[in-house]
Structure formats: structure tokens, C-alpha cells
Structure 1
């Protein structure tokens, strides 16, 4: 009788059809130790587009730092003309090395139908191509980012790049002149302040790479732009010691250059693969308007007798404007579904910085 009452306990459990269970309730298959180690290596050593992209952008402020260090020694002794010879030699030496050792973009190779070459580059550098289409993607051109749901994002990213490059190139062009023409900043060689700005940009490339991976590129770009605006606004107080000036310029370098790195990452993560290169080229091309306008406007402000502070006001406002535009981008931009018709926006909102 006892056995009869407990017969259900002794009965062999029925096998469940795991395919009928929801995905989150299905048991995970057991993996061997070697499989777990390989998966861990893929996670750690797999592609990280944001980090790799920002590591390349470190070269810009490093080159600016080297140029300032060389100019600090050459210009007092020989004038400014030898600096052009230094730049020419650098190009002549580096261009063949870049041609020889820099690989072509696998994405670009796939867009041209050169799939075997793209696979070779992926294998050489250990790039994970899971989820990447093996066939040649359809190329939409510039019209694909200037219509439908992509138009708003393209305009906002372009305007934010104009404002960011206005602040970055304005400082890079006029900072030594600004510091050398005002007695309140007569605290040493003006090129030392340019070195501080570029050192901040190097630090910013590393810090914003981590922040972009941790918080998303768009959200981190907003914080970096506000940081640059605060550092430049602090210079309007005309500190009497050199340490806070260096600190403010380092913050300005972190914010301006870091913001641009993160905008590039946000653009690359927002657009589909077939328009990614076009969107980056378009946004950076339009952004060069700010790089061209900054030296002219900075010089015009000085010629008008508005003083050094007018330039800091202009560059600080540009950084603040970039932050506002990025906030608007985060609020209003939607991302279409993968493989859906790009002329119709999706109904639900997806953050631009989502990966």
C-alpha cells in the first residue's frame, strides 16, 4: 500500500520537449573546459569596434604634441618655415609605411565584392565575422542616409560634428597666439599650453573609449562635450597660476577630441553596414565646415579688439552646442529594424548608442 501511494515518486520522469519551452527556460548545454576557455578568449579577444576606433584617433593628438615639442625648439632658433620641412619629411617617411602595412577595410572589400580578400584580412587580425553577411551588400549611396528615418540622424550628427570640430580646430590654431598675446596668461612658452591641450586629447581618447564601451558612445559624448565647455569657460576667470590653466586645457582636450571620437563611434553603430562608410564620410565632411570656420572666426574676433576671452567664449559655446545637439539626437532618433524597408521608420524607439 505504501508503494502504491508513492508510485508516482518512483515513476521515471517523462522527457520534456525542450523545443516547446521559452528560450529563457531552456537548460543550457554543458560545455567542456576547452570550449569554455575558447568562448572566454572570443569574448576577450573578439572585435571591439569602439575601442579600436578610438585607439586609432590617439594618433592625432600625439602628432600635435610632437609638432609642438619640435616647434618649441625650432621656431625660436630658425623661425616657422623649417616646420613645413619637418612636416614634409614626416609625410615622405610615413606614407610608404602606411601603404605597405595598413590593411584595407574588410567592410569596404565586401562592398566591392572582394570577399576572399576581406576574409583574409579578418583571419589575419582575428576579427569575428559572425553575423556579417557573406554576400556583397547592396550599396545605397548618399541618398540612403538623406531620406526616411536616417535623415534626422544625419543632420544632427553633422551639426554636432561641425560644433565639435569648431572648438577643437579653433583651439589648435589659436591657442598659442591667445596665450602669448594676453599678459594674464604670460606664464611660460605659449606652445606649452598647446602641449597640454594635446596631452588632454590623448588622455581623452583612452578615457572616452572606456566610457563609450561602458555607457554607450552617445551618452559619453554628451558628457565629454560638457566637460570641454566647462574647462574653456573656466579660462575666462584668468587664473593667476599655471597649474589650473593646464588642468583646464587638459579637460578641454579630453572633451573636444573625445567628443569627436565618440560621435564617430555613434555614427558607425547607428547606420547599417551598407551605408556605414557613406554616413561617416558625409558627417565628417560636413563637420569640416567647423574646422575651416574656426580659424577665420577666431582671427576676426581678435582683429575686432574683443580680446582673448571672446575666443574662449566662442569655443566654449560650440562645445555646449555640441552637447545640446547630441542630447536631441539621443531623444528623437530612431533606428530601423535590420533588413526592414529603410524608408519606413520603426514604431518603437531604440537608443542610438545601443549595440
Structure 2
């Protein structure tokens, strides 16, 4: 019986309607991830006034969704290596859509926090699997760009949430943006019908007939003759389990440093998206202008995510992360010097692009480090541990706000995680920072 590496067939496929549909659905889901998370920054000033929240309470409320994302990444994200990428993605979309819609009917901080936590559980489980399924299904030469294109829709969602904060809330109240958040539920029937399962997962479960049908859709040029058995890369026997493989084959330091980089990146991204309007408002800027700053920052995030993908394809993940983390630290710190309007908008564009651009590349780096049988676990665990930073971001903002520090010191402290992340990335071995997947070596040597 002929044995064929299924990954080589995926790598050699031309971009087709199949890939475009997969990228569309992953990007669509990612858009709602950005919208659902960033909207809290727009509604926060209104909630603090209506419910008389202290800064510490507001920070805890902002962290509830991040705690949910940590829980979702650990429980739902890692389960995809056992249950499949497709069912976990579908369940997570249903969960965060319903929870976000019900958020509109919250009547106090407790009910609001519960809805935000459940929204976070769904989002935390879905994002690592979106990265994983694209990593496993996209042709090699387009892989990083497609992943970064998909991740860039986080910024699109954040941009839309800022627009909703500027125009919907004054007209319809803070509840109105959450009605829009529930629209993703309407996509579930089409998503159920068209979203494929990962080829790597199907091979691991020995579903050879499904693998053959799916590979013919993805790469019509593949026409095997006679009996065929498909296979993918394997992990060394010392790995034992998907979780153990994160620390085997000299991956321990790389795994820990990716976790640190993830955490510092998320601290900056979610801390700023939660507290930027309120911090700028406390610095003397009108509330409307402060929300506009959030909009500008998310425009920068969109540009940064798209740019980081192209730069990473040329320079590699490690140099790209070093550049973007350094830019994050510098640009965030400069927000506190009260520059002129034009300079302020430029700094906000750079801060948004650098921080979210880091988030895009660090996802790709995590997916590169691990083999197929542990990839969902690896990316999910990196995202889960990174959520500690996401939880800390809103809490840090609330704590800084309660201290009534000088305006510039708030942003100096928010920029410090970028320095920590630079050190963490420097400690990742180059062979892990630019790992060539095992399945491409044969192709390159041919």
C-alpha cells in the first residue's frame, strides 16, 4: 500500500475557493472576537457613571472576560486535539454569540461580569483553533500571510466597536453595541455546513476515507493510483502526550518564553483597549475624543497586523517580534508626554499597530514551534497562559487610575511589558523562532 504524506499535498495545493472560504470564516469569527473584547473600553465610562463603579471594580469587570478566555483556552482550546477543530469552533461560536447578546440585558455589575466571563470562554477556545486549522490547511508559501490576514480582523472588530461606542451609545445607550455582538449566532447554520475538519486531525484519527475526499477538494491535482494510506509528521516517543511534547525535544525554554511574550503582549493590548478612553479623559481630553483615540489605535492595529505578516515572511518571527515589541514600549510610553494632535494620532497608530502586530506574530510563532499532534495544545496553552497578561491589563489600568499618578507615569508603566517581551523573545533559540515544519523538508530537498 502506498504511503503519502498528507501535509505535502496540502503544502503543494494552489489557493482555491476552499482556502478562501476557510479564511473567510476564520476572519469572520476573528472580527467578532475583536468586537466583543474591545467594546468594553467604549462602554466602561458609561458603566462607571451608571453603576457608580470604583476603578478597582471596573478593572475586575474588564478582567472577567479575560479570565473566561483563559478558562476557554485551557478547557476548550486544548480539547480540539482530542475532539477535533471543527466541533470545538462551532461550540465556541455559539457560546460567545449567545453570551454577548445577553450582555445587553445585564442590570448590574454581577450579571454583566457573568456574561463577559462566558463570552470570554467561547473566545478563548475558538481563537487558538482558528490559528491551528489555518496553519494545518494553508499552502506553505501563503501560510503566515493567511494567518495574519485572519488575525487582522481582530483590529477590524475593534474598529467597529469603537465606531459603535461613538455613534450608537449616544443614541441608544450602552446596551446597543451588544445587540450587534449577537449577530454572529446567525452564521452558525452556514458555518456548520461549510467549515471543514483539519486534515491532520482526520489522519491522526485514521479517518482515511474522509481524508481522501477532503484532499481531492483542496488539491485536485492529487490523483493517487491504487490503495493509499495518508500520514502526517509524528512526535518522538519521549513526548508521551501532547502536553508533555511542549517541553520535550529542547522546547522547554522556547515554550516558557513564548508564554511570557504572549502575556506581555496581551497585557498591553487589553489594558490599553480597556482603559485608554478613561485615562485620556482623566488627562483632560473630552470623552468623545478619548473614544476617537481608541478608534485610531485600532486602525493602527489593522495596519500593524497586515504589515507584521509580510515582515515575518521575510525576516522571520523572532526579528519581527523584537522590532514590534520595542516599538510598543516606546510608542506607549510617548503617549504620556501630551504631544500635539498630529503627533498624538501618529503615536496611537504606531502603538496599535505594534501591540496587535506582536499578537499576530506570536500566534504564528507558537504554531510553528509544535508538531501537528500537539499544535492545538501548544497554541492554546500559550494563549491560556498569555491570558494572565490579558487579565492583568484591565486590573493594572484600574489600579493605576485609583492611584491618581501623574499622567505620563501611567503610560510608562503600560510600556514596560514591551521591554520584558523583548528580553523573552531574545531567549528563544533561533531554530524554534524560525522553525521549518517537518513536513516541508522532504519537499525542499526534492
**Which category describes the TM-score, using the shorter chain as reference length?**
0.7 to 0.9
Provide the C-alpha distance between the structure 1 equivalents of 2:220 and 2:299, rounded to a whole number of angstroms.
30
> 2:281 pairs with 175, 180, 185, which one?
180
The match for 2:313 is 213
Contact 2:257 2:425 in 1 (8 A): yes
Change (3 A) 1:95 1:60: farther
Shift of 1:119: 4.2
Shift of 1:175: 1.2
Shift of 1:44: 7.6
Provide the C-alpha distance between the structure 1 equivalents of 2:180 and 2:365, rounded to a whole number of angstroms.
35
Count how many residue pairs are aligned between Structure 1 and Structure 2: 291
Residue 242 (structure 1) aligned with residue 349 (structure 2): no
Residue 95 (structure 1) aligned with residue 191 (structure 2): no
Residue 80 (structure 1) aligned with residue 181 (structure 2): no
Change (3 A) 1:122 1:284: farther
Q: Could you list the per-position Cα deviations for residues 311-341 of structure 1 after superposition, in whole angstroms to 9, with x for gaps in the alignment?
A: 3222211122112211111xxx37xxxxxxx
Provide the C-alpha distance between the structure 2 equivalents of 1:262 and 1:122, rounded to a whole number of angstroms.
28
Change (3 A) 1:352 1:301: same
Q: Which has the higher contact order (CA 8 A, sep 6+)?
A: 2
The match for 2:204 is 111
Provide the C-alpha distance between the structure 2 equivalents of 1:52 and 1:128, rounded to a whole number of angstroms.
22
Provide the C-alpha distance between the structure 2 equivalents of 1:234 and 1:303, rounded to a whole number of angstroms.
21
Contact 1:202 1:254 in 2 (8 A): yes
Residue 52 (structure 1) aligned with residue 146 (structure 2): yes
Provide the C-alpha distance between the structure 2 equivalents of 1:128 and 1:219, rounded to a whole number of angstroms.
36
Larger radius of gyration: 1
Provide the C-alpha distance between the structure 2 equivalents of 1:237 and 1:180, rounded to a whole number of angstroms.
15
Shift of 1:158: 0.5
Change (3 A) 1:141 1:237: same
The match for 2:372 is 273
> 2:381 pairs with 278, 282, 303, which one?
282
Residue 311 (structure 1) aligned with residue 410 (structure 2): yes
Structure 2 counterpart SS, 1:134:
strand
Change (3 A) 1:315 1:98: farther
TM-score in terms of structure 1 length? 0.75
Structure 2 counterpart SS, 1:103:
coil
Shift of 1:128: 9.9
Residues 287-306 of structure 1 aligned to structure 2 (within 5 Å): 287-306=386-405
Contact 1:122 1:128 in 2 (8 A): no
Provide the C-alpha distance between the structure 1 equivalents of 2:212 and 2:408, rounded to a whole number of angstroms.
53
Q: Which has more helix, going by share of residues?
A: 2
Shift of 1:78: 2.7
Contact 1:302 1:308 in 2 (8 A): no
Shift of 1:108: 2.5
